Structure 1
Amino acid sequence: MNESHRIQSLFTDLYHGHPWIDVTLEDTLSRITAEQAAQRPIKNGNTIWEIVNHMIAWRKNVLKRVQGEVLETPSNNYIEKIKDTSEEAWQQTLETLERTQKEWLYFLSTFNEADFINKYPVNKLTYYQHIHGILQHDAYHLGQIVLLAKITNP
């Protein structure tokens, strides 16, 4: 198995497989309602929904970076208030997250491993570091979501 396939496995496991941390994005988020996702149980904290949108935006950002695009990170770090808190809008958010999952898996299946050493010019980190970084980012925020879900639905 080559490195791209190993990384694909990490993406798959964290999303809906059997990761070492024993929780997945899909399983965790599938049990959260729009109402729960929109709650702000910690003053000045983020909602589950804001975190999921933040994850989606960073997944897209890093994917573009490792495809050679140079981007500016917005000052809000992709954290925005949710305007439509309907169940339909929540389902659309989850579908968008799933779409980013498919985009990452496709990218990794076609990625030239010689490009792992390429550096993103803004922060000088390699593509390899960026790819592992987005996995770490997802796991970090999944932990937050798990905790927020416990607070909002005890």
Structure 2
Amino acid sequence: MTTSEKLNHELQNVLSGDPWYGNSVYSIIEQVSFEAAFEKAPGAAHTIAEIVLHMLSWTEEVLDRLNGKEASQPLSGDWPDTGAPDEQKWHNYVNDLKLVNVNLSGLIQNFPEEKWEELMNENREPGLGTGVTNEELVNGLIQHHVYHSGQIALLSRITQIYE
């Protein structure tokens, strides 16, 4: 199996498959009502909607980097503002996250195999995720998706308690 095949398989499994640790990203997000998405749980740093936009913005940034752009903070920001709660807006955020991951999947499948081991910038900056190979960059984004889906699952349960 090629690196592209392995990475794409892992991405698809985490997003909508049957990962060994539990529910996929989309199965968790799709259970969140728009009211819960915009509610800030007591003591929480972010709402679910903010986390989804954060995941979206970093996925876009990884796409940009794999397409040869210089590494930076995401164009839409690290933690984009969600604006006022709105049901259609919530559905758009979820659909946008799915669409950007479809684009990422397509890029991964067509990425030149010899470029997976190339470094993303030579200097290691953990906050920006630089100084890693293209393969490590995608693996890091997959881990990022898993991490934040766990937060979303917990916040979803907490917001149900306070309703």
Q: Same fold (TM over 0.5)?
A: yes
Asked if the contact 2:3/2:116 (under 8 Å) is kept, the reply is no
Aligned partner of 1:20: which letter? W
Cross-structure match for 1:151: 158
Equivalent residue runs for 1:10-49 within 5 Å: 10-43=10-43, 45-49=45-49
Cross-structure match for 1:79: 79
Which secondary structure state, in structure 2, belongs to the residue aligned with residue 120 of structure 1? strand
Equivalent residue runs for 1:1-154 within 5 Å: 1-43=1-43, 45-73=45-73, 78-121=78-121, 123-154=130-161
Distance 1:108 1:80 in 2: 25
TM-score norm. by structure 2 comes to: 0.87
Aligned partner of 1:39: which letter? E
Aligned partner of 2:79: which letter? I
State the Cα distance separating 1:90 from its structure 2 match: 0.3
Q: Deviations along 1:85-137, whole A, 9 cap, x unmatched?
A: 11100000011001011011101111111001111115321111101000011
Name segments (4+ residues, structure 1) moved above 6 Å: none
Aligned partner of 2:16: which letter? H
Q: Structure 2: where are the runs of 5+ without partners?
A: 124-129
Aligned partner of 1:147: which letter? L
Aligned partner of 2:95: which letter? E
Distance 1:131 1:138 in 2: 11
Distance 1:44 1:23 in 2: 22
Call closer, same or farther: CA 1:137–1:87 in 2, change over 3 Å. same
Aligned partner of 1:151: which letter? I
TM-score norm. by structure 1 comes to: 0.92
**Higher strand fraction (1 or 2):** 2
* RMSD, aligned α-carbons: 1.6
